[in-house]
A and B are shown apart, each in its own frame.
Chain A
Amino acid sequence: MQSVQHMVRTGRRGPMHEFSMAFADLRASFDRIGLAWSLAKHDVVSRYRGSILGPFWITLSMGLMVAGIGFLYANLFKVPVNEFIPYVALGIVFWGMIANVIIEGCSTFVQAAGILSQSSLPMFTFVWRTVMRNVINLLHHLIIIVGVLLYYDHWRQTDVLMGALGVLLLLVNISWISLAAGIASARFRDIPQIVGSVVQFAMFMTPVFWLPGGRLLDHAVLLLNPFYHLLEVVRAPLLGQPVDARTYLVLGAMAVLGWAGTFTTFALIRRRIVHYL
């Protein structure tokens, strides 16, 4: 049985108190992480309710996209298909994850307005809900990745361990961006539009389906582009290529600074967020 629960809510008592309340929120969200998972699962299932294939549409539509773009670009740019398709498959799958976690982050709190305004559920639960929803999608995409790597005989070079580390670094970083987008969008309703356009442009700036080569390799457009590092940290090891140490440096710094900044903002305005909605 549950023990008697105790809830205390008070007025502002200085920034230290706000921080400890924010940490309590974070801790509570981990204590009930199963709830975030249930909500995420429900989101995925309900999106495909009534369709014959159900959630396997996620796999199928991504497969069609990978095949289409893969063969088209490989022929247009005269690059070998067996090199290009694995590259594009990983690119599109993980770009999709980055883009969706950030874009859907904008509606994290707005969508949860009903629940947040009448219960004491942790706010972080809804951040994890957004992230986990996309992790579920990623699991569906895994079939394509494994299939492509096997079919084009890349799996021997695949460094699964470094790839997993890459996914972890990716998740840690896009989670704070998602949270930041959620807070900002709750307050200012123009933010989702801005985020949408920025992410769309970033897709063209980032080598998702073009191969950087020659003089482009050390170009500022890549090195200063956080999305490039986010993508590369996962894609390179899975293709059996080494990851530039700078990428780990950038992502590590981004994770620390990003979480520090976003969490501070969250702590300071946490009690206001429900009123924004």
Chain B
Amino acid sequence: MKGPEVSIRVSDLTLRFPVYGVDSKSLKKHLARITVGGKLGRTGMGAPEVTALSGINLELHSGDRLGLIGHNGSGKTTLLRALAGAYEPDEGTIDVHGQIAAMLDLNLGIDPSATGLDNIRLRGRIAGLSAKEIEERMQEIADFTGLGPFLAMPLKTYSAGMQARLAFAVATAVHADVILMDEWIAVGDADFQKLAHKRILELMERAGILVLASHDLELIRLYCNKVMRIEGGVASPVMDVKKLDELLAAA
């Protein structure tokens, strides 16, 4: 339908996080800095910064399924969030053609005291569906969750796996071209895993690009055809997934 145009281009992406929580979130400290003529703050004017990603270059086209690997805190999720458009680069550019569906956090837009159905509506709206589209796909989404009568119950009565089913069903109901996924897909039971697997393959057929961050190398081998390793915010070149072992050995 709109296959050939889907692409992700990232050039020289650098992202720094100012950390405000540590010492400068309070107005008192900010004011104190002014009233003492700046002496107090000399050592720490502005917030301390953490460089989360530096100099990332990446180019993906329709059909690419990129696996991101790296230790905790290496910048995988940050990169996904930047690709989702949440974080603005400090340097470089991110250029994404295509409808993006980010499945990064299970709890996005979830209201624990609302029913499953209401949560589907809420999440669907946030994910970019119109109210009409949601009602049209409600049956399909409800079936896919496999939660049956539980959909009329408040979400707080759900187990983590049930929540995952719901979240996944809604997130994948969006006709997305670019799917960004953090590792939570591994939550559900075996049945659900099978369903999810099918759904992802379907999505891959019609959509363009998958970017999946995971520690699970089997998962990466299963879904991805390319792989990139991030260490301390610095990325390796994008490699074929067959060279995954080489990439791991190189570290």
Using CB atoms and an 8 Å cutoff, list the residues of chain A in contact with chain B: 1-12, 34-35, 38-39, 42, 46, 49-50, 114-121, 187-191, 270-272, 274-276
Interface 1/0s, chain B 83-115, versus A by CB < 8 A? 011111111111111111010110111010110
In the complex, residue of chain B having the shortest beta-carbon distance to the beta carbon of A18? B88
A42: chain B residues within 8 A (beta carbon): 111, 114, 118, 122
Interface window among B23-31, B33-41, B161-169, B231-239: B23-31
Q: Establish whether residues B5 and A4, one from each chain, have CB atoms under 8 Å apart when the complex forms.
A: yes
Closest Cβ of chain A to B191, distance in Å, is 27
In the complex, residue of chain A having the shortest beta-carbon distance to the beta carbon of B110? A114
Question: Which of A11, A38, A115, A272: most chain B Cβ within 10 A?
Answer: A11
A4: chain B residues within 8 A (beta carbon): 2, 5-6, 97-99, 177
B2: chain A residues within 8 A (beta carbon): 3-4
A187: chain B residues within 8 A (beta carbon): 20, 25
Q: Establish whether residues B113 and A49, one from each chain, have CB atoms under 8 Å apart when the complex forms.
A: yes
Q: Establish whether residues A120 and B84, one from each chain, have CB atoms under 8 Å apart when the complex forms.
A: yes
In the complex, residue of chain B having the shortest beta-carbon distance to the beta carbon of A35? B125
In the complex, residue of chain B having the shortest beta-carbon distance to the beta carbon of A32? B128
B105: chain A residues within 8 A (beta carbon): 114, 118
Q: Establish whether residues B130 and A11, one from each chain, have CB atoms under 8 Å apart when the complex forms.
A: no
Closest Cβ of chain B to A142, distance in Å, is 24
In the complex, residue of chain B having the shortest beta-carbon distance to the beta carbon of A13? B93
Kindly state the separation between the CA atoms of A189 and B28 in the bound complex, as whole angstroms.
10
Kindly state the separation between the CA atoms of A12 and B25 in the bound complex, as whole angstroms.
23
Closest Cβ of chain A to B163, distance in Å, is 14
Q: Establish whether residues B107 and A8, one from each chain, have CB atoms under 8 Å apart when the complex forms.
A: no
Q: Establish whether residues B125 and A39, one from each chain, have CB atoms under 8 Å apart when the complex forms.
A: yes
Q: List 30 A-B contacts (CB under 8 A).
A: A2-B175, A4-B5, A5-B99, A5-B100, A6-B97, A7-B85, A7-B94, A7-B95, A8-B93, A8-B94, A8-B96, A34-B131, A39-B122, A42-B122, A46-B111, A49-B114, A50-B113, A115-B108, A115-B109, A118-B102, A118-B105, A119-B84, A119-B108, A120-B86, A190-B26, A274-B88, A275-B18, A275-B20, A275-B87, A276-B20
Contact residue among A11, A117, A188 (Cβ-Cβ distance under 8 Å from B93): A11
Kindly state the separation between the CA atoms of A184 and B168 in the bound complex, as whole angstroms.
35
B118: chain A residues within 8 A (beta carbon): 42
B206 at the interface (CB under 8 A from A): no
Q: Which 10 A-B pairs have the closest CB atoms?
A: A120-B85, A271-B88, A190-B27, A188-B27, A11-B91, A9-B94, A10-B93, A118-B104, A7-B96, A38-B125
Closest Cβ of chain A to B110, distance in Å, is 9
Given A7-B96, A34-B130, 10 further pairs, Cβ under 8 A: A4-B97, A6-B96, A6-B97, A9-B89, A9-B93, A10-B92, A11-B93, A35-B125, A119-B86, A274-B88
In the complex, residue of chain B having the shortest beta-carbon distance to the beta carbon of A5? B99
Contact residue among B25, B87, B126 (Cβ-Cβ distance under 8 Å from A121): B126
Within 8 A of A (CB), among B46-77: none
A270: chain B residues within 8 A (beta carbon): 88
Kindly state the separation between the CA atoms of A6 and B84 in the bound complex, as whole angstroms.
12
Kindly state the separation between the CA atoms of A116 and B28 in the bound complex, as whole angstroms.
27
Closest Cβ of chain A to B113, distance in Å, is 6
Q: Establish whether residues B86 and A116, one from each chain, have CB atoms under 8 Å apart when the complex forms.
A: yes
B175: chain A residues within 8 A (beta carbon): 2
Q: Establish whether residues A9 and B85, one from each chain, have CB atoms under 8 Å apart when the complex forms.
A: yes
Contact residue among B18, B108, B114 (Cβ-Cβ distance under 8 Å from A114): B108
B219 at the interface (CB under 8 A from A): no
A114: chain B residues within 8 A (beta carbon): 105, 107-109
Instruction: Say whether, besides A9-B82, A121-B126, A46 and B113 are in contact (CB < 8 Å).
Output: yes
Closest Cβ of chain B to A59, distance in Å, is 22
Question: Which of A49, A188, A190: most chain B Cβ within 10 A?
Answer: A188
Contact residue among B25, B81, B114 (Cβ-Cβ distance under 8 Å from A188): B25
Kindly state the separation between the CA atoms of A120 and B80 in the bound complex, as whole angstroms.
12
Closest Cβ of chain B to A111, distance in Å, is 11
B184 at the interface (CB under 8 A from A): no
Instruction: Say whether, besides A10-B93, A11-B93, A35-B125, A274 and B99 are in contact (CB < 8 Å).
Output: no
Kindly state the separation between the CA atoms of A120 and B98 in the bound complex, as whole angstroms.
13
Kindly state the separation between the CA atoms of A177 and B107 in the bound complex, as whole angstroms.
30
Kindly state the separation between the CA atoms of A49 and B109 in the bound complex, as whole angstroms.
17
A191: chain B residues within 8 A (beta carbon): 27
Q: Establish whether residues A9 and B88, one from each chain, have CB atoms under 8 Å apart when the complex forms.
A: yes
Contact residue among A49, A117, A272 (Cβ-Cβ distance under 8 Å from B86): A117
Question: Which of B17, B28, B111: most chain A Cβ within 10 A?
Answer: B111
Q: Establish whether residues B131 and A38, one from each chain, have CB atoms under 8 Å apart when the complex forms.
A: yes
Kindly state the separation between the CA atoms of A114 and B111 in the bound complex, as whole angstroms.
12
Kindly state the separation between the CA atoms of A35 and B100 in the bound complex, as whole angstroms.
17
Q: Establish whether residues B102 and A119, one from each chain, have CB atoms under 8 Å apart when the complex forms.
A: yes
Closest Cβ of chain A to B149, distance in Å, is 19
